[in-house]
Amino acid sequence: MYKHTPVALLILFSFFSTNLCCVEASNSSVIIMEIGDTITAATADLVEEAVRHGEEVGAEALVIILDTPGGQLDSTFKIIDAIERSNLPVVSFVYPKGAKAWSAGTLILIGSHVAAMAPHTIIGSAQPVSYSPFGESEPVTESKVLNALSQFITERARMYGRNETAARLFITENLNLNNDDALRLNIIDVQASDISSLLSWKCTRCDQIFNRPACLPK
């Protein structure tokens, strides 16, 4: 019997190709990029590049649009680290209406300076899965992985003042929430119907993010 090895944070039934990212600088110097598919090493590279570019051009924020079934865990860590170490505010936004940020997408949302969701979007199901060399998958149940990942996301929730219990339940119970419940339970900061209304939202906890008077462009 072989064991399953590479661990991923992916909803099992989602096997899109990797074809996902665009980075654009708008007039108002907000960088907008999209994670619209499975999260891979290429996604992490693009997020790191977007952060670097945003810092170089003095952008006011980076907005990451999430509509993803999840993806590789090590790439997810790299993305969350890049967000944490960024000198510009990073806003993750589950968008458009009907979008999902499952599994790794949920972790990226929780690990962002500002977390936003559009109406009728969902997050959750973040128990990791492992893959055999033959591509077969199964949920990871080992305490070594689950405890580490639970502590990791709980600490990120604490870092940004989010609901630590719900953060842990995404891993341990595959909790799923829609945008209304995510806001009510203090997982996200704001609901917005589109990017324009997201960018007009005034962040009231900016001093917790970068000690700046404003963390999002007005």
* Identified binder of a second copy from the candidate list 53, 174, 185, 206, rule CB under 8 A: 174
Report if residue 19 touches a second copy, rule: CB under 8 A.
no
Amino acid at the residue 148 = A
Active-site hit among 17, 143, 144, 196: 144
Phi, psi of 72 (to 5 degrees): -70, 140
For 172: left if phi > 0, alpha if psi spans -120 to 50, otherwise beta; the answer is: alpha
Report if residue 161 touches a second copy, rule: CB under 8 A.
no
Integer angstrom CA distances of residue 50 from 19, 95, 96: 16, 19, 21
Cα dihedral: 8, 92, 208, 201 (round 10)? -160
Spell out, one character per residue from 89 to 128, where the chain touches a second copy: x when CB under 8 A holds, - when not: -------xxx-x-xx----------------xxx-xx-xx
Integer angstrom CA distances of residue 29 from 85, 87, 88, 174, 196: 20, 14, 11, 37, 13
| Catalytic annotation present for 97 | no
* DSSP string covering 167-209: HHHHHHS--EEEHHHHHHTTS-SEE-SSHHHHHHPPPS-GGGT
Report if residue 188 touches a second copy, rule: CB under 8 A.
no
What is the closest distance, in whole angstroms, from the C-beta atom of residue 63 to a second copy in the complex? 19
Active-site hit among 92, 103, 125, 150: 103
* Identified binder of a second copy from the candidate list 85, 211, 213, 218, rule CB under 8 A: 85
Amino acid at the residue 35 = I
Integer angstrom CA distances of residue 120 from 30, 87, 187: 25, 31, 16
| Catalytic annotation present for 100 | no
What is the closest distance, in whole angstroms, from the C-beta atom of residue 3 to a second copy in the complex? 4
* Identified binder of a second copy from the candidate list 68, 150, 163, 191, rule CB under 8 A: 150
* Identified binder of a second copy from the candidate list 21, 177, 192, 216, rule CB under 8 A: 177
What is the closest distance, in whole angstroms, from the C-beta atom of residue 39 to a second copy in the complex? 13
What sign does the dihedral 178-143-85-64 (CA atoms) show?
negative
- Report the catalytic residues: 103, 144
Interacting residues with a second copy (CB under 8 A): 1-8, 11-16, 73-74, 77, 80-81, 84-85, 96-98, 100, 102-103, 120-122, 124-125, 127-130, 132-140, 142-145, 147-152, 154-156, 158-159, 173-178
